[in-house]
């Protein structure tokens, strides 16, 4: 997949404007003003809500880490140092990343996961969190070239997939230019099906790979705006890549 330029997310940037649009039947002028005011209050709340949640969570984590590491701070420096817990947490993450990427640390992590798998209450929690992190990681994958619609698992039923490889010549997959398409499951796109299709049967969606992964993880809740305008958001694949 080629390099992508950073553009504004149309699903996010246009959400509040669409929410504030007046209803088709506006009614009397007084009611128009009342609805206009109520909609602006509602939009203001929707704008500030994620900001407040984010700030509250950041403050909670900052205070929690400071409380956890307060005994270390008092032992080393004789007093509490604000922010030391957060700094030690960042250093700990870095050290953990080093350990997890070498052979010894990988074995310890695998042993820990086997232990967790044997605990009935903790295993589903850990596995669920693990699947979420894997799903987030897949967003940064450079192996996906484009987002497409394919007839899967049967003709007439469309599934969202990602092209992983394209062939410009006949192969064992087809006697014409073909492609390998990964069709993920939702909401965990780290599992799915690998299907081989002729390139002429692919409908390329005019969205980025990241937008396609958001669409899958959200179960369709985060549908890009360009897919909501009829069939113009998808085109049959044209050029054949070598």
For the chain, what is the radius of gyration of the CA atoms? 25
CA distances from 91 to 54, 70, 87, 88, 96 (A): 23, 16, 6, 5, 9
Helices marked H in 118-227 — which ranges?
Answer: 122-137, 209-217
CA distances from 38 to 20, 48, 100, 201 (A): 9, 16, 52, 48
Give pLDDT, residue 63: 83
pLDDT digits (tens, 9 = 90+) for 21-59: 655 555 566 677 777 788 788 778 877 888 888 888 888
The pLDDT of 121-136, averaged and rounded, is 74
- From 43-47, 127-131, 171-175, 197-201, the region with the lowest mean pLDDT: 127-131
Backbone angles phi, psi at 72, to 5 degrees: -65, -45
Closest Cα partner for 177 from 157, 160, 198? 198
What share of the chain in percent tops pLDDT 70? 76
- From 117-126, 132-141, 146-155, 157-166, the region with the lowest mean pLDDT: 132-141
The pLDDT of 54-75, averaged and rounded, is 83
Q: How far apart are CA 227 and CA 108, in angstroms?
A: 45
pLDDT digits (tens, 9 = 90+) for 210-228: 888 888 888 888 888 888 8
The pLDDT of 5-19, averaged and rounded, is 51
pLDDT band at 20 (very low <50, low <70, confident <90, very high): low
Q: How far apart are CA 44 and CA 37, in angstroms?
A: 11
Q: How far apart are CA 28 and CA 74, in angstroms?
A: 67
Please give the mean pLDDT across all residues of the chain. Answer: 78
The pLDDT of 187-192, averaged and rounded, is 78
């Amino acid at each position: 997949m080629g390099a992508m330029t950073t553009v504004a997310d149309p699903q996010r940037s246009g959400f509040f404007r669409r929410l504030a649009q007046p209803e088709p039947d506006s009614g009397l002028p007084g009611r128009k003003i009342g609805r206009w005011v109520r909609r602006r209050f509602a939009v203001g709340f929707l704008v500030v809500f994620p900001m407040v949640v984010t700030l509250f969570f950041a403050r909670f984590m900052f205070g929690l880490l400071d409380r956890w590491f307060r005994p270390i701070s008092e032992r080393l420096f004789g007093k509490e140092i604000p922010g030391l817990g957060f700094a030690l947490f960042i250093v700990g993450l870095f050290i953990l990343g080093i350990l997890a990427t070498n052979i010894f640390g990988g074995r310890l992590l695998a042993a820990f996961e086997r232990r967790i798998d044997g605990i009935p209450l903790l295993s589903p929690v850990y596995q669920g969190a693990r699947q979420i992190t894997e799903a987030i990681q897949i967003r940064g994958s450079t192996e996906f070239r484009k987002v497409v619609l394919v007839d899967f698992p049967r003709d007439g039923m469309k599934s969202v997939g990602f092209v992983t490889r394209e062939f410009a010549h006949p192969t064992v997959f087809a006697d014409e230019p073909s492609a390998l398409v990964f069709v993920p499951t939702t909401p965990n796109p780290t599992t799915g099906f690998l299907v081989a299709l002729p390139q002429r049967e692919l409908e390329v969606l005019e969205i980025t790979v990241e937008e396609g992964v958001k669409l899958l993880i959200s179960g369709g809740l985060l549908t890009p705006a360009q897919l909501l305008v009829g069939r113009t958001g998808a085109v049959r694949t044209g050029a054949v890549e070598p």
